[in-house]
Chain A
Amino acid sequence: MMEIDNNLINININTIDVLKKPEINISGEKCIINAENIDYKSLNYSIRSILNEIKYSQVYESDTLRKIKTIELNNVSGQRYIGDGIQSKIIISIKGTPGNDLGAFMDGPEIEVFGNVQDGTGNTMNSGKIIVHGSAGDILGYSMRGGEIYIKEDAGYRSGIHMKSYLEKFPVIVIGGKAGNFLGEYMAGGIIIVLGIYNLVNPVKNFYLFDDNEAAGNYIGTGMHGGKIFIRGQISNHKLGKEIIKSEINEEDKELIQKYLNNYYKYFGINDKEKVNLKDFIKLSPFSKRPYGKLYAY
């Protein structure tokens, strides 16, 4: 058992907020936090404090904290900003439903969620991984510059909006189910792969259901000027943004898709029967890196 010093907890925080100390247990390589009835400020503060303690404990051979590889959060219900701005290689395992902006500005951690995630997951994320055993809300991976996001089932509107790549940074989103409208809006780099393998049988998710049987909604890639979107199955032309072209995938694309598909299979334990056929994918990419180049009079 580790105690977080109460005095430590009260610093740097808004005068009206009183922080609560969650129940924390350490077993081997895991640090388990019970998030039940704990507000997001207290929860995230505890995570940061533990990460700090782990960092400082690195110098002491005997410290049990230095062995911690995973922080497990139990009974999470809607707490926002988990993993926000964390620069570390820690694994954060979440049981329950985390709130908006999961992994925002995150730089390094691997977050695995056993449940659904809400809006803004991976907002402006720089590196790291988010694995979701469920569905995601809107603006998944907004402006993400690096790292990987795997969603087992569906994703809401504006997934991958303004994703961009830079040098070694190459953001990837894999959506196992279907994606809502405006997929890859303003996209400037990286890749999005949509598998469309879930048939949306759960009536709760019906709002993503389209009239057709295609894997993504309307206005795909509006304003797109970089990166690639791979979708399994066909997409009607009227659903594409005016900035993009549809084409067949080449060998290079196949290799790229296969690499991330393998991760998807591994993370979610997909059996051979459920695996998808690579030749079913189409590629969507922008006409130009400069879609608005001719808009102005000089």
Chain B
Amino acid sequence: MTLKLNQSEFEIIRDKEKCISCQVCVRQCSNDVHEYDETEGVILSDSSKCVGCHRCETLCPTGSIKIKKRESEFKSNANWTPEHLKNIYKQAETGGVILTGMGCDKPYPVYWDHILFNASQVTNPSIDPLREPMEIKTFIGRKPDILEIKPVKEAGSDIIKYKNNLEPQLEINIPVLFSAMSYGSISLNAVKSLARAASEFGTFYNTGEGGLHKDLMIYADNTIVQVASGRFGVDKNYLNNGAAVEIKIGQGAKPGIGGHLPGEKVNYDVSTTRMIPEGSDAISPAPHHDIYSIEDLSQLIYALKEATEYKKPVGVKVSAVHNIAPIASGIVRAGADFISIDGFRGGTGAAPQVIRDNVGIPIELALSSVDLRLREEGIRHKVSLIVAGSIRSSSDVIKAIALGADAVYIGTAALVALGCHLCQKCYTGKCNWGIATQDPYLTKRLNPEIGTRRLLNLLNAWSHEIKEMLGGAGINAIESLRGNREHLRGVGLNERELSILGIKHAGEAW
């Protein structure tokens, strides 16, 4: 017998006086933590199986359960933290790579929390968004070098038209899109919620690399379809059923590595969407084997533009890595209409922990350096920047736009709106909230109608907050804020950080 050295991470405290043995917790837990003992008529709980998702605590009708972090588990040691010890125990037992889910949870600096936004006082009046028009609509796509217009007679009256044809653009009513999460990594009900919310609000969701389920084709006008190295589910109809195409090179949580959806998760429905046989591994190679250079990337961009007859924007998603600024410059020159940059705190359904927690750079620094580099080279207008990698609130959105983004992608925030409690066990496929699972018993817990409404509420709330912050700074259009770093000030940052962010320290006037 293998010696199991791992100790449980959580402690389940059940108030025996409040517990009525109704067994809700037993039925709700997919990790088999709770068990009803018929002879004694009591519920027993095995803390060692608890992942800390708080499903039982939330649903207990009498409030008798409390999930607590287990204290005094190891002798305290600032160097050998419990996580290191537990991982070594687990690896000594299994010989495997430690998997994890969601984004990096390590205490690296969060630059958003060291940046403050501006407001008007006296010299420039602020605007009240409740009474005055406030534009937070923007467009994703390549903008022309010069805009030439000509008067045209139409229906008897003179109107102004563009002289040249504009490149295809995506119109978004809020600078927030739902980031790539595939059907397979999350449940169909979760994808449906995202798709429906995107189409009702006027923004976009992204299929991820898992193909397009037939139930989602009605949302084609609000779909960004992804083309990744495995090309799962990619055919002409798939490309036709998206408003834009995104080539996935990398993901913030696991830059540089491929992925595989284990065969046991490839059920009938997932197999038809990915167009692979049931039960076989879906292996995404680390690189696209037709892309070994910027020139090769350009080749795929134009292969996709030819296939979609130049009617759809084609973008490229990359992880924020050390060399991101020149990489982004290359991507623009390769012909991309938008670049999605995913910071190292970006989420995932499954990634090796060692990669998630140690590879990549923060999105704030990556965004700023890309924006500044593209401006220096005079090519910023040729591309839209969508940034991702832990956008947690409307203030993160505002700060990202002032640092040079056109829009942001939200993944984790959207899942939290759907009920995610960040237990980071997405890779087990046992999500008690019906999000990161394909088990029909669990997925029916997420009602797409309710999911849609919750996401719409989130977007509505954020757009009010964005408008309030813009108005406070005396700005009436989100596009006037883009790259407007004078509206940002750093606190507690050193010279080097401020210079990379391109902002002044708090207290420094214009």
- A-to-B contact residues, CB < 8 Å: 11-15, 40-41, 44, 48, 80-81, 84-85, 87, 100-101, 104-105, 107, 119-120, 123-124, 126, 139, 142-143, 145, 158, 161-162, 164-166, 169, 185-186, 188-189, 223, 225-226, 289-298
Given contacts A123-B303, A165-B277, is CB(A295)–CB(B289) below 8 Å? Answer: no
Q: Is the CB of A298 within 8 A of B99?
A: yes
A295 and B96 contact, CB distance less than 8 A = yes
* Smallest CB gap from A45: residue in B: B309
Query: Shortest distance in angstroms between A159's beta carbon and chain B's nearest beta carbon?
Result: 11
Q: With A107-B235, A142-B289, A297-B94 as given contacts, are A292 and B281 in contact (CB-CB < 8 Å)? A: yes
Whether A12 contacts B311 by the Cβ 8 Å rule is: yes
Q: Are B236 and A12 in contact (CB under 8 A)?
A: no
A219 to nearest B CB, angstroms? 13
On chain B, the residues within 8 Å of A40 by CB distance are 306
Interface residues of B in 335-394 (CB under 8 A from A): none
| Residue in A13, A120, A223, A297 whose CB lies within 8 Å of B99 | A297
**Residue pair A186, B285 in contact (C-beta under 8 Å):** yes
Q: Is the CB of B99 within 8 A of A15?
A: no
* Residues of B with C-beta under 8 A to A169: 275
User: At the interface, yes or no: B302 with Cβ under 8 Å from chain A?
Assistant: yes
Residues of B within 8 A of A13 (CB): 165, 310
Quick check: B289 and A161 within 8 Å, CB to CB?
Answer: yes
- Complex: A15 Cα to B310 Cα, angstroms: 11
**B residues near A14, Cβ cutoff 8 Å:** 167, 310
B231 and A143: CB pair below 8 A?
A: yes
Q: Give residues of chain B (285-329) contacting chain A, Cβ–Cβ below 8 Å.
A: 285, 289-290, 299, 302-304, 306-311
Which listed residue, A11, A104, A158, A223, touches B283 by the CB 8 Å rule? A223
**Which chain A residues lie closer than 8 Å to B302 at the CB level?**
80-81
Bound form: Cα–Cα A48–B311 in Å? 14
Q: B residues within 8 A CB of A80?
A: 299, 302-303
In the complex, what distance in Å separates the CA atom of A101 from the CA atom of B305? 13
Contact in complex: A145, B281 (CB < 8 Å)? no
Given contacts A162-B231, A296-B97, contact A291 B303 (CB under 8 A): no
Also in contact, A105 and B283, with CB within 8 A (given A12-B309, A120-B290) = no
Q: How many residue pairs, one in A and one in B, have C-beta atoms under 8 Å apart?
A: 139
Q: Given A12-B165, A290-B263, A297-B99, answer yes or no on A186-B306 (Cβ-Cβ < 8 Å).
A: no
**In the complex, how many angstroms separate the beta carbon of B67 from the nearest chain A beta carbon?**
21
What are some 25 contacts across the A-B interface (CB < 8 A)?
A: A13-B310, A14-B310, A15-B165, A85-B236, A100-B299, A101-B303, A105-B307, A124-B234, A126-B236, A142-B231, A143-B231, A166-B271, A166-B276, A166-B277, A169-B275, A185-B289, A188-B283, A289-B280, A290-B262, A290-B263, A290-B281, A294-B96, A297-B91, A297-B95, A297-B99
**Closest chain B residue to A104 by CB distance?**
B303
Select one of B231, B236, B299 contacting A120, CB under 8 A. Answer: B299
Which of A162, A225, A297 has most B Cβ within 10 Å?
A297
B138 CB, min distance to chain A CBs, angstroms:
21
Q: Is B500 an interface residue (CB 8 A)?
A: no
Q: Residue on A with the closest CB to B335?
A: A14
Closest chain-A Cβ to B436's Cβ sits at a distance in Å of: 14
Q: CA of A87 to CA of B428 in the docked complex: distance in angstroms?
A: 40
Nearest Cβ distance between residue A289 and chain B, in whole angstroms?
Answer: 5
Residues of A within 8 A of B308 (CB): 85
B93 to chain A, nearest CB (A): 8
Q: Known contacts A164-B275, A188-B280, A293-B262: does B167 contact A81 (CB below 8 Å)?
A: no
Question: Are the CB atoms of A81 and B306 closer together than 8 Å?
Answer: yes
Complex: A93 Cα to B276 Cα, angstroms: 31
B283:A292 contact, CB within 8 angstroms:
yes
Interface size classification for chain B: 35 or more
Task: Judge whether A293 and B281 touch: CB under 8 Å.
Answer: yes
**B-chain residues with CB within 8 Å of residue A161 when the two chains form the complex:** 289
- Using Cβ atoms and an 8 Å threshold, which residues of chain A touch B275? 145, 164, 166, 169
Contact call A296/B306, Cβ cutoff below 8 A: no
Best-surrounded residue of A120, A139, A291 (most CB of chain B within 10 A): A120
Please name all residues of chain A whose beta carbon is closer than 8 Å to the beta carbon of B96 when the two chains form the complex. Answer: 294-298
Q: Is the CB of A126 within 8 A of B311?
A: no
Among A15, A123, A188, A289, which residue has its beta carbon within 8 angstroms of that of B167?
A15
A40–B299 Cα distance when bound, in Å, is: 12
- Closest-by-CB residue of B relative to A289 is B280
> Are A225 and B280 in contact (CB-based, < 8 A)?
yes
Q: Decide: A139 near B262, CB < 8 A? Known: A104-B307, A105-B307, A297-B96.
A: no
How far does the Cβ of B118 sit from chain A's closest Cβ, in whole Å? 37
Q: Which residues of B (224-262) have their CB < 8 Å from a CB of A?
A: 229-231, 234-236, 239, 260, 262
A-side contacts of B280, CB under 8 Å: 188, 225-226, 289-290
What residues of chain B lie closer than 8 Å to A188, measured between beta carbons? Answer: 276, 280, 283
A85, B306: Cβ atoms closer than 8 Å: yes
- Which A-B residue pairs are the 5 nearest by beta carbons? A85-B307, A297-B96, A143-B231, A15-B164, A297-B94
Assess whether A296 is in contact with B99, with CB atoms less than 8 Å apart. Answer: yes
A139 CA to B262 CA, complexed, in Å: 26
| Closest CB in chain A relative to B259 CB, distance in Å | 10
Do B281 and A297 touch (CB < 8 A)? no
Separation of A292 and B166 alpha carbons in the complex (Å)? 47
Contact B236 A119 (CB under 8 A): no
Shortest Cβ distance from residue A46 to the other chain B in the assembled complex, whole angstroms: 12
Report B-chain residues with C-beta under 8 Å of the C-beta of A142: 231, 289-290
Q: Is B66 an interface residue (CB 8 A)?
A: no
Least Cβ–Cβ distance between B493 and chain A, in angstroms = 38
Could you tell me the distance between the alpha carbons of A145 and B238 in the complex, rounded to whole angstroms? 14
B235, B239, B308 interface centre (most CB from chain A within 10 Å): B235
In the bound complex, CA of A98 to CA of B231 (Å): 23
Residue in chain A with minimal CB distance to B236: A107
B307 touches A12 (CB 8 A): no
Name the B residues within 8 Å of A104 (CB-CB): 303, 306-307
CB-CB under 8 A from A297, the residues of chain B are: 90-91, 93-99
B299 touching A101 by the CB < 8 A rule? yes
A288 to chain B, nearest CB (A): 9
The residues of B that contact A107 with a CB separation of less than 8 Å are: 235-236
- B residues 490-508 in Cβ contact with A at 8 Å: none
